[in-house]
Amino acid sequence: MRETSFIKQNKEKWKEFEQDLDKENVDPDKMSDLFIQITDDLSYSRTFYPNRSVRVYLNNIAQQIFYSIYKNRKTQLGRFSYFWTHELPYVVWESRREFRVAFWVFMLAFGIGMLSCAMDAEFPRMVLGDDYVDMTIENIESGDPMAVYKQRGELGMSVGITINNLWVAFQTFALGVFFALGTLFYLVKNAIMVGAFQYFFYEQGVFLESFLTIWIHGTLEISAIVIAAAAGLTMGKGLVFPGTLTRMQAFQISARRGVKIMMGIVPIFIIAGFLEGYLTRQTETPDIVRGLFIFACLSFVILYFWWLPNKRGKEGLLIPPKEGRLPADKNQLIDFTRIKSSGEVFSDVFVFYKKNILGIGGLALASALFYSGMVFSFTPDAPTDLFSFPQTNLEGGNEYITVFEYLIYKFVAYIGVLHSFFVNEAVPFLVILNTFIFSCLTFVSFTYLIKASEQGEQLEEERPAKTTMHHVLNFAKIAAVILIMNLFLMTSDWYTVVLIIPIAFPVLILWMYIMCKENIGLITGLGRTFQLLSGSFGKLLGTYLLTLTIGVSFFMITDTSLIWIYIKLVSMNLVLTQDLMDQFAVISLTFISTTVLYLIYPLLISGVGLLYHTLLEIKEAPTLKNRIQNIGNARVIQGMIRE
């Protein structure tokens, strides 16, 4: 093509580009597309008009666009501020109906709890437990009704209560996957408990003192529980009312919104835990001061979670966050050739998981059967001696001093159960068993993912078929890394694992995927991992934590009241001794828990594997290089031609 024709064909487009550059606010996505088109034209001019002024002109425009993009790039602090000032208020506004439902259901159940106490004097004992009621009555008679908040140290109490509150909130949120019914069940349960708790003090004649003490932390704490329920309803809404989308597509959107709401209440729980540990015990503080503090906390909740979203939403000042385009549901292909945000990778995880659910689900079920069979068949100990689940004793009562301490015990015990799946002195072959199972899950998931990525790659030479030895070597490399991880778990306490694994585990996953995808060894793969992570570790951690939040939410379902209701129904229809019933409960919960664990694991590793292609594009831009090399080439019926 002649230079004059080239200029005439594109000059209107270049003028539009220059006009956009002069504007103060330009859509970043448009600027990105602009940059790609200009660089395409620049590459063409460098090839065919290297010494002409059009090359200099296009090079100047490309520099301006590049500067405009990176000059306005958000910093980490800017993204953090944007989430709290714009993104979270927008999500709350979009979920305002779910917030209303959660609030009124809580108020109704709260009233039911109070009415039940008024009609039945024994109802508080059914809800709160005999030990707690008797202890509180003793405190009231001794002249210090709120002595329960002074029995432990400030720091230990604050940390323990914060963990418990987060546990209850995430359970309430996670149960939204049961078409929102599970969330409503948990919300009603907690609201009845709070209503009975408050009326009990009224009945004892210490309402004012209890109100001014409990609601110092309870205003934020209970508000956050209601907000967690709204997040669960938001997630469940995608399954109940998918609209014009499929249920899976609607669930992707609603789950993302629910997770953002949950992220927004984490600081509230931390503050509430601090208040309960340090300030609630200060019962000698003047009533007016405590009343004003409660009013200030309530004002914050109302202003931030109701007034601000409604005001901005009605005025049209809320801008939807960039969440990426939702892919088509049928025959959808994952695009491995462009840089994606954590939200887009999160959506791709569901696409990948849905396309391979039969293979992954079948393997997870078989692995859970294999694990349970090996552990319970080849270990002489009774099932109740191997694993101890909270509520295993179906006839047991509340033997703890307070409800909060019971929740602390339950949280720690449940994490202990998860840790015991990997470290158990009664099962000497557990390291080998876990290494084999997780190696199989990793190998199958990576095989599916690599196959999907290769379908979108266009190579000049035909890719050689993978041999059996190739697959054997990949499995061996995966097993080596997982063995290292299992040995670490075996030599570490559970709390060390909880602190380290969220940071170290995604790096190990990326290491395994790089070795399989690029067909390289352990040492080379480790160096390659840190090379791709240079400057992008935050992106890896963000993607992993996003999928981990959903994974943990699903895993928590295995310890909900719904599972225990099922076990109780079985016990009602089978004539078994209490000991046999306990054994059955442990075996059932072990199988259910490991099945869910093996279903979640591919979710986590596929998210990191999908992110690898984004990290590769960021660091090396192979797709862009391939496009530049093919500038001027076009396919015709006869073959390839160059303009």
What would the pLDDT profile of 484-506 be if each residue is shown by its tens digit?
888 877 776 666 666 666 778 88
Share of the chain above pLDDT 90, in %: 21
User: Residue 391: which region, alpha, beta or left (left: phi > 0; alpha: psi -120 to 50)?
Assistant: left
Structure tokens given for 306: 């109701």
> What's the confidence (pLDDT) of residue 174?
80
Residue 157, both tokens: 């109490």
Alpha-carbon span 53 to 7, nearest angstrom: 11
Core vs surface per residue 488-525: b (16+ CB within 10 A) or e: bbeebebeebeeebeeebbbbbbbbbbbbbeeeeeeeb
pLDDT at 399: 39
Is the pLDDT confidence value at 375 over 80? yes
- At residue 14, the pLDDT reads 76
Predicted local confidence at residue 457, as pLDDT: 58
The region of weakest confidence among 5-19, 201-215, 492-506, 582-596 is 492-506
Q: Are 188 and 226 in contact (CB under 8 A)?
A: no
The predicted pLDDT at position 157 comes to 76
Nearest C-alpha neighbor of 103 from the set 181, 40, 215, 188: 188
**Is 149 in contact with 276 (CB distance < 8 Å)?**
yes
Q: With beta carbons less than 8 A apart as the criterion, state whether 229 and 265 touch.
A: no
Under 8 Å between Cβ of 198 and 114: yes
Mean pLDDT of the 154-164 span: 77
Does residue 479 register a pLDDT over 90?
A: yes
Does residue 637 register a pLDDT over 60?
Answer: no
Mean pLDDT value of segment 425-434: 88
β-strand 639-642 against 633-636: which pairing, if any?
antiparallel
Could you identify the residue written with the tokens 């963000």? Answer: 542
Alpha-carbon Rg for the chain in angstroms = 29
DSSP state of 178: T
Question: How far apart (Å, rounded) are the C-alpha atoms in residues 184 and 178?
Answer: 10
- pLDDT top residue among 161 and 205: 205
- Residue 449 in contact with residue 352, Cβ under 8 Å? yes
Has residue 163 got a pLDDT over 70? yes
The amino acid occupying position 519 is N
80: Cβ contacts below 8 Å, ≥ 6 apart: none
Kindly report, residue by residue over 171-191, the tens digit of the pLDDT.
Answer: 788 878 777 888 888 899 889
The pLDDT value recorded for residue 396 is 37
- DSSP-assigned states of every residue in 612-628: HHHHHHHHT-HHHHHHH
Task: Write phi, then psi, for 151 (nearest 5 degrees).
Answer: -85, -20
For position 511, what pLDDT does the model report?
93
pLDDT at residue 58 tops 90: no
Q: Binning pLDDT at 50, 70 and 90, where does residue 576 land?
A: low
Looking at residue 572, its pLDDT comes to 58
* C-alpha–C-alpha distance, residues 410 and 402, integer Å: 12
pLDDT of 379 over the 60 cut = yes
> Where is average pLDDT lowest: 162-176, 273-287, 461-475, 509-523?
461-475
Residue 115 has a pLDDT of 92
Average pLDDT over residues 512-523: 92
pLDDT of residue 240: 86
Q: What is the pLDDT of residue 66?
A: 63
Higher per-residue pLDDT: 391 or 602: 602
Residue with the two structure tokens 């089978």: 574
Three-state secondary-structure class, residue 393: coil
Whole-Å CA distances, 401 to 134, 149, 152: 10, 11, 12
Contact 506, 541 (CB under 8 A): yes
Residue 103 pLDDT grade (very low, low, confident, very high; cuts 50, 70, 90) = very high
- Summarize the confidence of residues 367-379 as an average pLDDT: 92
- Is the pLDDT higher at 267 or at 245? 267
More confident call, 245 vs 110: 110
| pLDDT band at residue 371 using 50, 70 and 90 as cut-offs | very high
Q: What is the mean pLDDT of residues 101-120?
A: 93
Instruction: Kindly indicate the confidence band of residue 562, based on its pLDDT and cuts at 50, 70 and 90.
Output: low
What is the distance between the alpha carbons of residues 479 and 473, in angstroms, rounded to a whole number?
Answer: 10
**Is pLDDT at 354 greater than 90 in this prediction?**
no
Q: Are 606 and 444 in contact (CB under 8 A)?
A: no
Rounded to the nearest integer, the mean pLDDT of the chain is 79
Question: Band of the pLDDT at 5, cuts 50, 70, 90?
Answer: confident
Task: Tell me: pLDDT of 234 over 70.
Answer: yes
